[in-house]
A = this chain, B = another copy of it.
Amino acid sequence: MGVRAMVGMSHPELGDLDTLVRRALAEDLHAGDITSLAVVPEGMQARGRVLAKQGLVFCGGPIAVEVMRIVDTRTHVAVLVPERTLVDSGAILAELDGSARALLAAERTMLNLLQRVCGIATLTRRYVDAAQGRCRIVDTRKTTPGLRALERYAVRCGGGFNHRNDLGSGVLIKDNHIRCVGNLAQAVRRARERSSHAHVVQCEVNDITELEQALAAGADAVLLDNMDDEAIATAVAIVAGRVIVEVSGGVTLERIARLAGMGVDVVSVGALTHSAPAVDLSLELDT
């Protein structure tokens, strides 16, 4: 932790950070920072520390760098903790040197972004630890509008995997599709015939009958939705490794170990992104 990790400015896997951060800053700086303008002398330099006020899995260093770069290119940012690191309460995550007004202008936007990605990484890590490497923990498309790329990154930083990114990056036949077609098997067959060879065809099933239909129709993967442990165990036995088995619905931390033990391949958890509590961070300045 005493070693400064250099963090560059460009991170394709985080999407267009420049645009996202500019938009976030615009919410808070629409009319400038009138407190600093009145109170803090023009040109005053300061040093700031981003502190963890609780144990957490850190990620988002490049976000902190980007926020400061956009507010004031002359600020120096040193991210002290590598991405994906579990730190204790009190850890200094980053140090900032620059204009006091710039640090204060950037503070809330930076923390709002970091507290969310670290919150997601921290919650994901708990699920991943519970799975003990016996099944994958994956996210869902239940992400915060506007922040999907960051939230999926945070899931990976917590040791999770990503599900398909969007409606165009994988075929997943759900109840509503089946109701439209009238028949699970036909839905799977239509998907096989009409979707790209570049995509997996996965089908949501609610019981063993549907599972057998999905397998017979040629699904590459199944999603056992809201099934109880017993039904899941039966399903895993029927599948017998021929296709990927994903479980979702009603997944708690407590249940993960049990699911992992049954031979499920993947457990998807919407709460990773839609309900992860923010972690507690603060920025403290010296002048």
Copies in the complex: 6
A34 touching B199 in the complex, CB below 8 Å, given contacts A29-B15, A285-B180:
yes
Kindly provide the distance from the CB of A95 to the nearest chain B CB, expressed in whole angstroms. Answer: 15
Kindly provide the distance from the CB of A28 to the nearest chain B CB, expressed in whole angstroms. Answer: 5
Whether the Cβ atoms of B39 and A190 lie closer than 8 Å is yes
Q: In which size bucket is the chain A interface?
A: 35 or more
Whether the Cβ atoms of A32 and B12 lie closer than 8 Å is yes
Whether the Cβ atoms of A145 and B113 lie closer than 8 Å is yes
Chain A 133-170: CB-based contact to B (< 8 A → 1; otherwise 0): 00010100111111111001000000001111111111
Whether the Cβ atoms of A38 and B107 lie closer than 8 Å is no
Task: Kindly list chain B residues whose C-beta atoms are within 8 Å of the C-beta of A18.
Answer: 22
A39 touching B187 in the complex, CB below 8 Å, given contacts A32-B13, A148-B27:
yes
Task: Kindly list chain B residues whose C-beta atoms are within 8 Å of the C-beta of A212.
Answer: none
Q: Check if A286 is an interface residue, CB within 8 A of chain B.
A: yes
Kindly provide the distance from the CB of A26 to the nearest chain B CB, expressed in whole angstroms. Answer: 6
Whether the Cβ atoms of B277 and A38 lie closer than 8 Å is no
A274 touching B112 in the complex, CB below 8 Å, given contacts A34-B196, A165-B30:
yes
Which of these, B74, B141, B202, contacts A108 with CB under 8 Å? B141
Whether the Cβ atoms of A28 and B166 lie closer than 8 Å is yes
Q: Check if A275 is an interface residue, CB within 8 A of chain B.
A: yes
Whether the Cβ atoms of A167 and B108 lie closer than 8 Å is yes
Whether the Cβ atoms of A168 and B33 lie closer than 8 Å is yes
Whether the Cβ atoms of B200 and A199 lie closer than 8 Å is yes
Q: Check if A195 is an interface residue, CB within 8 A of chain B.
A: yes
Which of these, B10, B163, B177, B179, contacts A72 with CB under 8 Å? B10
Kindly provide the distance from the CB of A280 to the nearest chain B CB, expressed in whole angstroms. Answer: 9
Chain A residues near B (Cβ < 8 Å): 8-10, 12-13, 15-16, 18-20, 22-41, 44, 46, 48, 70-74, 100-105, 107-109, 111-113, 115-116, 119, 136, 138, 141-149, 152, 161-177, 179-182, 187, 190-191, 193-200, 202, 221, 244, 246, 265-266, 270-271, 274-275, 277-278, 283-287
Other A-B pairs, 7, CB within 8 Å; known A112-B143, A164-B199: A8-B72, A19-B22, A20-B145, A31-B165, A34-B196, A103-B176, A275-B277
